[in-house]
Amino acid sequence: MTLIKRSLAEMIGTFWLVLGGCGSAVLAAGVPDLGIGYLGVAFAFGLSVLTMACAIGHISGAHLNPAVSIGLAVGGRFKAAELPHYIIAQVLGAILAAATIYYIAGGQEGWTMGAFAANGYGEASPHGFSLQAAFVCEVVLTALFLFIIMGATDRWAAAGMAPLAIGLALTLIHLISIPVTNTSVNPARSTGQALFAGGIYLDQLWLFWLAPILGGIIGALLYRAISKEKH
């Protein structure tokens, strides 16, 4: 499979991830009496990854996330030279999804932007968590996400279970951290929403690149340290 085709798959996959996860947060979470709330949004993110892992995992690996691609490169599972193609594709997919959500949401009379499912800390945190708390949360959860991804996709792992394990891991991550940062663990997802939300969310976007990437690297190195793989 050519790099262009694999990158296109990543763009489509990331589009689905952001449309499913952030779309559910913007369009469905706060609906009076019928809103899905934090629990529903957490499952929406998990289901989007699970379904797309089944659809394109055999094409591109279904990274859908720059922190995952970088972590897998550090972990020896992905070619570092291909990172620019994947990351650009992932960010473009996220921006296109954010634009789609914005267009749909704008079709409702009286709709206001609000946080637009963007990520933040301090006054931009859903429940006022500090910069330090947000940083630790994003680093630790992304590290564990990479650890699970590498373990679930290891050649010694149970065959066919990777999409379920990864999807449920992302669901749990959101259950833990939506109140803290609105959950990033994915710089592409953060970028798309911040570009439309603007203001403080763009100012704080740096954290949601730095912390997930650092966490991804840590998680990959931890898994390499304990796995059976030869390096």
186 domain residue, yes or no: yes
pLDDT value, residue 229 = 62
Tell me whether residue 173 is in a domain.
yes
Per DSSP, 82 falls in state G
> How far, in Å, CA of 197 to CA of 116, rounded?
6
Q: How many CB atoms lie within 10 A of CB 130?
A: 12
Q: Which residues of the chain have pLDDT under 50?
A: 231
pLDDT at 32: 76
Q: How many domains does the chain have?
A: 1
The boundaries of the domain holding residue 150 are 3-226
Which CATH number is 195's domain given?
Answer: 1.20.1080.10
- 231 assigned to some structural domain: no
pLDDT the model gives residue 1:
80
Q: Does any domain span residue 203?
A: yes
154 within a domain of the structure (yes/no): yes
SS3 133: helix
Flag whether 117 is in a domain.
Answer: yes
Measured from the Cβ of residue 147, the count of other Cβ atoms closer than 10 Å reads 23
**Assigned domain for 136 exists:** yes
Residue 32 is assigned to a structural domain of this protein: yes
User: How many other CB atoms sit within 10 Å of the CB of residue 132?
Assistant: 9
Q: Whole-number mean pLDDT of the chain?
A: 95
Q: What does the radius of gyration of the chain's CA atoms come to, in whole angstroms?
A: 17
Q: What pLDDT is recorded for position 228?
A: 67
User: How would DSSP label each residue in 95-126?
Assistant: HHHHHHHHHHHTTSTT---TTTT---SGGGST
Query: What is the pLDDT, as a whole number, of residue 230?
Result: 56
